[in-house]
Chain A
Amino acid sequence: MTARYALRFGALGYLAFLLLVPVGLVFYRTFEHGLHPAWAAVTNPQAQHALWLTLLIAAIAVPANTVFGVVLAIALVRHRFPGRGLVNAVVDLPLALSPVVVGLALYLLYGTGGWLGGLSQHGIKILFALPGMTLATIFVSLPFVVREVVPVLREIGTDQEQAAETLGAAPFTTFRRITLPAIRWAVGYGVVLTTARAIGEFGAVSVVSGRIEGKTETLPLYVQSQFEGFNTTGAFAASVVLALIALATVLCMRMFRPKEAR
C-alpha cells in the first residue's frame, strides 16, 4: 500500500514539477501587472500580424496534410507497390528529424544555387516568404493524419468496401459512403495533432522565414524576438495565446482520442 502511494505521489510530483508549475507561471507572469498591459501587448500590430500569419499558414498546411494524408494512408494500406516500405519509413521521418534540418533542406533547395533556386529569378519567391514557411510547416506536420488513419483502415478491412463494389457502387461513392465514415474520428484526431504542430512550429520556420519583423514573423518567432528584445510582457502575452491554443488542442485530443487509450 505504501509502495502504491509512493509511486502515485512520485509520478504526480514529477508531472507537477515538470509541467504544471511552468505553465502556471506563464499565466502568472503575463497577468501580474493586470489585464491591460497583456491585452495591449497582444493587440499591437506586429503581434496581430504574427498571429494572422500563423493562422494563415496553418489554414493551408492542415487541409493539405489532411487530404494527402488520407490518400497516403489508403495507398499504404490498400495497395502493394514497389517501394511501399520506403514510403512507410519516409512518412515517419518528420517525427524523428530535427526541425532545423528540415529548414536547412528547404533553404538549400530553394536558395541561391539550389536545384530550384532559379524560381526566385522568375518572380516566384519561396524562401523568406509565405510559400517557404508553408512548405516547412507541411513537412513537419505531415505524419499525423497518416499515422492515425493507417491502423483504422487496417482494422476495418475491406469486406464492406467489397460489398459496396459488388453492388455496383462507383469507387468514389464507396469511399464517401463506406470508408470515410469509418475513418472520420481518426482523421479528426489527426487534424487536431496537425493543427497543434503547425501553429507551434519554430525551428523549421525560423530557418526559412528570414525573420522579417511584421512580414515573415509567426507567433512563435514573435515570442523569441520579443524576449530577446527585452519586451518580456509581449513575449509572455503571445505565449499565453499559444498556450491557450495548446490547452484547447489537448481538450480536443481528449474528445477524439481512440477509445482504447481513454
Chain B
Amino acid sequence: MAASSALAVSRPGAVLGRAGGGLARGIALGYLSLIVLVPLAALIWSSRAQGLGTFWDEVAKAEAASALKLTLVAALLVAAFNAVTGTAIAWVLVRDSFRGKGIVNAVIDLPFALPTIVAGLVLLQLYGPQSPFGVNLAFQRTGLVLALLFVTLPFVVRAVQPVLLELDREMEEAAESLGARRLAVFRRIVFPNLLPAILSGVALAFARAVGEFGAVVLISGNVPFKTEVSSVYISGQIESDNPAGAAAVSVVLLLISLGVLLLIGVFRHWRTRHDR
C-alpha cells in the first residue's frame, strides 16, 4: 500500500492532466493563502509592529503570564487525564460487548458536534450555582478543567479505537499461553502498540484545551489570576481595545499549536514506520 501511494505521488498530473495539475495546485494554494495564511501573517506582523520589546512586555504582563500559565497547566492536566480515560473507553468499546454499545460509540462524538457555548451553558447549569447535585464549581479552576474534559473527550478515544481494532490478538494469546498475567500482557504487548495513537490523541486534546473558548467562557467566570485562561484574556484585550496585547498572546498560542502539529507529525511517522 505504501509502495502504491509513493508511486501515485511521483506521477504528476494523474488526475487533471498536466495543465489541470497546475490549476488544482494554484487554486488550492490561493484558497489556503486567502483563508489561512494572510490573516495569520497579519497577526504576526501586528504583534511585532511596535517592536520586539513591546511584544515581550505584553506577554510578560502579570495578567497575561498568569493566564498563559493556567492555560498550560490545565491543558496538561486534561491531556494526561484523557490519556487514561480515553484509552479505557476505547478498550471498553473495542474489547467489551454489552447492549447499547452502538449508542455509546455514537455518543462519543457528541462533544465534536455540540456547539461549545451550549456545552458551557450545560455544564454551568449542572455544576454551577443552581446545581441539582449541590456542588458549585462555577468561577473555580475545577469547573474550568471539567469544561475542558468535556470538549476533549473524543480525541484519545477516536485515535486509539482504530489501532486497537486492528491489533492482532495472536500476540496477546501467545503471551497469555506462556503464563503472562493480564496486566503484564497489557503493559508489554498492547500498550507499546497503542502508544503512538495515544500520544497523537493526547497532543490534539492538549491543543484543543489550550485554545478552547466557548465552553470555558461561561463557567470559568474569567477572574484574572484565578480562572482566566489565555483565549478569554485575548478576547478581553480585544474588547478593551488593546490589540497589541491580544496579538502578542495570540502569537504564543499560534506557536504552541504549530509545535503540537509538529509533534503529531513525529508520532504519525513513528506509527507508520513499519509500513515503509
Contact = CB atoms under 8 A, between A and B. Distances in A.
Given A104-B43, A242-B114, A224 B8 contact: no
A10 interface: yes
Interface stretch (A33-41, A42-50, A244-252): A244-252
A247 B172 CA distance: 37
Contact of A105 (B213, B250, B265): B250
Interface in B59-97: 85, 88-89, 91-92, 96
B211 A196 contact: no
B28 A72 contact: yes
Interface string A84-101: 000101111111111111
A250 B126 CA distance: 23
A26 B250 CA distance: 33
Contact of A68 (B27, B132, B214): B27
Contact of A157 (B5, B28, B115, B211): B5
Interface in A111-159: 111, 114-115, 135, 138-139, 142, 154-155, 157-158
B106 A158 contact: no
B27 A104 contact: no
Given A14-B89, A94-B36, A158-B8, A25 B125 contact: yes
Contacts of B231: 98-101, 203
Interface residues of A, number: 101
Contacts of A190: none
Contact of A196 (B36, B113, B161, B238): B113
Contacts of A74: 15-16, 24
A223 B118 contact: yes
Contacts of A187: none
A39 B224 CA distance: 38
B218 A7 contact: no
Contacts of A78: 8-9, 11-15, 21, 24
A11 B153 CA distance: 12
B156 interface: no
B243 interface: yes
A79 B16 CA distance: 10
Contacts of B222: none
A23 B39 contact: no
Contacts of A19: 107, 110-111, 150, 153
Contact of A15 (B37, B38, B107): B107
A15 B86 CA distance: 10
A108 B243 CA distance: 8
Contact of B238 (A4, A107, A157): A107
B150 to A, nearest CB: 6
Contacts of A171: 15-17, 20
A175 B91 CA distance: 40
Contact of A7 (B92, B126, B257, B264): B92
B97 to A, nearest CB: 10
Contacts of B28: 68, 71-72, 75-76, 87
Given A10-B88, A108-B42, A80 B12 contact: yes
A231 interface: no
A188 interface: no
B115 A242 contact: yes
A157 B32 contact: no
Contact of B42 (A12, A87, A109, A175): A109
A133 to B, nearest CB: 14
Interface in B7-49: 7-17, 20-21, 24-25, 27-29, 31-32, 35-40, 42-43, 45-46
12 contacts: A10-B88, A18-B153, A23-B114, A71-B31, A96-B211, A100-B250, A108-B247, A109-B43, A139-B39, A172-B20, A202-B115, A235-B121
Interface of B: 1, 4-5, 7-17, 20-21, 24-25, 27-29, 31-32, 35-40, 42-43, 45-46, 85, 88-89, 91-92, 96, 98, 104, 106-119, 121-123, 125-126, 132, 146, 149-150, 153, 158, 161-162, 165-166, 182, 204, 207-208, 210-214, 217-218, 230-232, 234-235, 238, 243, 246-247, 250, 253-254, 257-258, 260-262, 264-265
